[in-house]
Structure 1
């Protein structure tokens, strides 16, 4: 059973950030999910308007926070979304990442319907596949969040990572193609 004293000790270790959740759970003989839950509660209590759970929607996050995150992403992620011209968007990413867009014409991903329909799917999907290795979400979100905190962007350095992720992912490369997000398109294509 989790006593108040044990809970306080776990919180102290979590705040010190010297031990991982797994190490803390082993130290006190409690399940790591218990430590993880305490860590979540701790994080949520420290960040105003940033309470997160799996069902949290972006609309529940402070509008000023959303605006700050959007502007930061557009300035720092170099992943601008050209909704009306996806090839231009892909070219911009290639330019940012120093990848030759014209070298990608030999790729031929098929069976993918893109919006708008006139978009050259070979060029676009090939570009996406290449740039995913450099900029996909799992690699850069934490770094970007840490940069957001370090610069104290608009004075909002205390926004939680979860809230940052929920807002920032809209300005990343998770574009919706006929209901599929970018990762699903790439993964589905790879399986065919």
Structure 2
């Protein structure tokens, strides 16, 4: 594979070659987004767990960001597919990968089987789903709305708002705009 081939659909072997070669790129930019696919979960877990892989931290970052995006959007179909890939994965994982798996599976179960949660659990879910690798600020809890939803705000390059109902663990994400009670409930 050549450097910067603009390969938007790499094979597993091409992803493996990319992971072990610091000088190899899949595309000129946004190569992480190309790897936002369930088909790459196992190879990313493998490379993220290999301390000899020069892009191991980057691979874990891709897994975190991809799964976080799906969870935040409540894409249960894709979240279940990632869960299946995790269940099939038979190799040893690094501690950081194991922590990601544990957090992901916990959020998957909450998404799949809603339950009543405490305010501290709501805070934890908000932190998990609003975290990003480059964000060094803090997540602010703004208020509890009349509907019972708790509203959080994160400001990085733009504002994001996260809403969660502790009565049933239902959450909703809004980029750029704060939602009104009626908009959150829909």
Q: Which has the higher contact order (CA 8 A, sep 6+)?
A: 1
More helix by share: 1
More strand by share: 2
What TM-score, normalized by structure 2, do the two folds share?
0.26
